[in-house]
């Protein structure tokens, strides 16, 4: 018996880069969604997480898989603002859309990061065609396993939900 | 329309290492099969092909995916015989089964390598649950893509053939 | 016949990090000096230049070799200011002193970068015990060659100048 | 006070590859000598030791530094004989001379390996212009440090011995 899954929490973005049309998970229903949560001054994000997200972006069909970055800043706020992020995305040639996670109250964790219960960055989230969160990896995950996980979600029919839970 | 696939040619092995029960593709029907064709003195096989095969072996369930090496020697025969291969497998800690491809006539390409039309080593072959050859990669193939290809085959029902060809 | 060398231009720093006592090349005379010119949002600096400078810092005796970073910002000024740099140095655990190159006039190249005629970042400069500039590498330089170049300078007597130029 | 050094033991080779004129340490006196002791089926030799020796061979002037491999087989003798070694050197494009260490008595450690007291492979030995053994590294040694060590020996005058020992 497989553990039941749940609809992925909504993305709360204050700004988007690399796209003219901000995305919502609702609008992406029917495609597999990959969220790469990162901070631009997080070494593991720069060396592993973001290059891996770029590989995903370049490997799969856009009709099947939608990749976007989520800039979830929870430290060094003054050094990782939108102006800094824009320069970073340019220098590192990040080509996929990037959302800026809405700041939390009183300098706490940002809103989307909190909704997903992320422990830090980088965190990679996989959402199925049915809009349910299906996997969440904090830190390094091997390409071979990740490629398999993404394809397992691609292979699912868009309308049949793999969990026994009623759709909310 | 997808190109029709065909049953994978039979493996012609003169010897097996790392297993007490030699495998046949017929006996493996129902599982995805990964063949890593290599030569022990092929630098690309040692640095990329075999480590990748080991990662596949360690990532997927044995019930779903069966990985084996195929030592297809077409040069330096005197340096890559069974005694040498045994030492190589020990030193490089290759844990999956390895078949020795049957020598061709008059020192030509070995039998299985010829049947598969391989251009050299390393070559990675993917066989579906239905026993059909589904992909064949000569040289480097990225882990992300390979993980996806393997999972696409795992996700197929064992008995429904994806091609329009009658099963032979 | 070896090309004559010249005294290295002075460092024009507006701020230092990771040290309480700003350095001058005059005060460092007698030691080999390694300057790693970088920008915090320059991918090649982050992946190669700065890790190499850290290896130099950790490999040689501080009595023989003094390593410091020079943050020579010539683009994305608003994203690479002192506050951002401080966060960067913390996250990337840069342990050697880092000087902030004095801004050029009208947003042009910074002062020290101009004096050294640097073409971009990363640039690594080697200065001999005699205070003369002895090598300047733009982009990647192999560790083996760099280790040899540094040791060649360490092996020189501090007071004998290798060039035929009068000391200024 | 530096520890006294000693003349490097003689090389006992039964065969040479990649050269028409076998070398002796006596004949190489005046140059720095780098010995890369390896076995062709030793994974660490293949992935690190031999590529590093190739980098040394390609980085320094042949007038200053003489690099050669020493095939010191102490296991899997039947798989690492001269015929196998020849194929290996061809496939891995080893360009520097390689000596085959003389077999020890009763299948024990080979002669030169024993004389140098090597613990295993890969082992890298550095010999100064004076013919004295100056460093011996078992396992991994970083390029930066190694480049410095080699240059320190290059910088020494050929005729002045750095040790206080009388030359034997």
DSSP per-residue letters across B52-81: HHHHHHHHS-TTTEEEEEEE---S-GGGSS
**Domain residue limits at A52:** 42-154
Count contacts between C and D (CB, < 8 Å): 60
Rounded CA-CA distance D98/D53 in Å is: 11
* Nearest chain A residue (CA) to C76: A87
Backbone angles phi, psi at A123, to 5 degrees: -130, 130
Q: Does D165 map to a domain?
A: no
Residue C165 pLDDT more than 90?
A: no
Residue D160 pLDDT more than 60?
A: no
Q: Does B116 map to a domain?
A: yes
Residue A107 pLDDT more than 90?
A: no
Q: What is the ipTM of this complex?
A: 0.90
Residues of chain B above pLDDT 90, percent: 86
Q: Does B152 map to a domain?
A: no
Q: Does C20 map to a domain?
A: no
How many Cβ atoms from other residues are within 10 Å of residue C97's Cβ?
20
Contacts of A134 in chain B (CB under 8 A): none
Lowest-confidence segment of A60-74, B67-81, C75-89, D154-168 by average pLDDT:
D154-168
pLDDT 10s digits, D24-64: 999 999 999 999 999 999 999 999 999 999 999 999 999 99
Residue B166 pLDDT more than 70?
A: no
- Sign of the alpha-carbon dihedral angle for A81, A82, A86, A89: positive
Q: What is the pLDDT of residue A159?
A: 59
Give me the number of domains chain C comprises: 1
Residue B98 pLDDT more than 90?
A: yes
Count contacts between A and B (CB, < 8 Å): 61
DSSP chain C: -PPP-EEPPPP-EEEEES-SS---HHHHTTSEEEEEEE-TT-HHIIIIIHHHHHHHHHHS-TTTEEEEEEE---S-GGGSSHHHHHHHHHHTT--S-EEEEPP-GGG-S-HHHHHTT--SSSEEEEE-TTSEEEEEEES---HHHHHHHHHHHHTS-SSS-SSSSPP-
Q: What is the pLDDT of residue C156?
A: 94
The CATH number assigned to the domain holding D46 equals 3.40.30.10
Residue A147 pLDDT more than 90?
A: yes
Separation in Å, CA of D152 to nearest CA in chain C: 6
* Helices A143-154 and B143-154, axial angle in degrees (round to 10): 40
Q: What is the pLDDT of residue C95?
A: 98
Question: The tokens of C100 are what?
Answer: 């902030």
Q: How confident is the model at residue C30 (pLDDT cuts 50, 70, 90)?
A: very high
Q: Does B164 map to a domain?
A: no
Question: The tokens of A64 are what?
Answer: 């099947």
How many Cβ atoms from other residues are within 10 Å of residue C117's Cβ?
10
**What part of C 124-143 touches D (C-beta under 8 Å)?**
142-143
DSSP state, A3?
P
pTM summary value: 0.92
pLDDT 10s digits, B11-45: 999 999 999 999 999 999 999 999 999 999 999 99
Contacts of D41 in chain B (CB under 8 A): 87-88, 91
Question: The tokens of B72 are what?
Answer: 């297809």
Q: Does D166 map to a domain?
A: no
What's the number of CA atoms in the CB half-sphere (13 Å) around residue C31? 18
Residues of chain D above pLDDT 70, percent: 92
Residue B165 pLDDT more than 50?
A: no
Q: What is the pLDDT of residue B106?
A: 78
Q: Does C65 map to a domain?
A: yes
Residue C92 pLDDT more than 60?
A: yes
Strand, helix or coil for residue A127 = strand
Rounded CA-CA distance D110/A4 in Å is: 63
Rounded CA-CA distance A12/A111 in Å is: 7
Q: How confident is the model at residue D162 (pLDDT cuts 50, 70, 90)?
A: very low
Q: What is the pLDDT of residue B159?
A: 59
Q: Does A141 map to a domain?
A: yes
Rounded CA-CA distance C150/B141 in Å is: 40
Rounded CA-CA distance A86/D160 in Å is: 60
DSSP state, A135?
E
């Amino acid at each position: 018996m497989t553990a039941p899954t749940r609809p992925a929490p909504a993305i709360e973005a204050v700004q988007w880069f690399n796209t003219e049309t901000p995305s919502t998970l609702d609008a992406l229903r029917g495609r597999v969604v990959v969220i790469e949560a990162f901070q631009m001054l997080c070494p593991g994000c720069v060396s592993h997480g973001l290059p891996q997200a770029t590989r995903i972006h370049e490997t799969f069909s856009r009709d099947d898989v939608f990749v976007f970055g989520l800039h979830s800043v929870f430290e060094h706020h003054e050094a990782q603002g939108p102006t800094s992020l824009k320069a970073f995305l340019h220098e590192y040639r990040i080509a996929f859309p990037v959302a800026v996670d809405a700041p939390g109250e009183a300098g706490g964790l940002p809103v989307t990061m909190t909704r997903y219960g992320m422990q830090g960055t980088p965190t990679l989230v996989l959402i199925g065609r049915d809009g349910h969160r299906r996997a969440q990896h904090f830190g390094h995950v091997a390409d071979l396993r990740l490629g398999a996980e993404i394809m397992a979600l691609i292979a699912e029919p868009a309308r049949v939900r793999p969990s026994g839970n009623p759709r909310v």
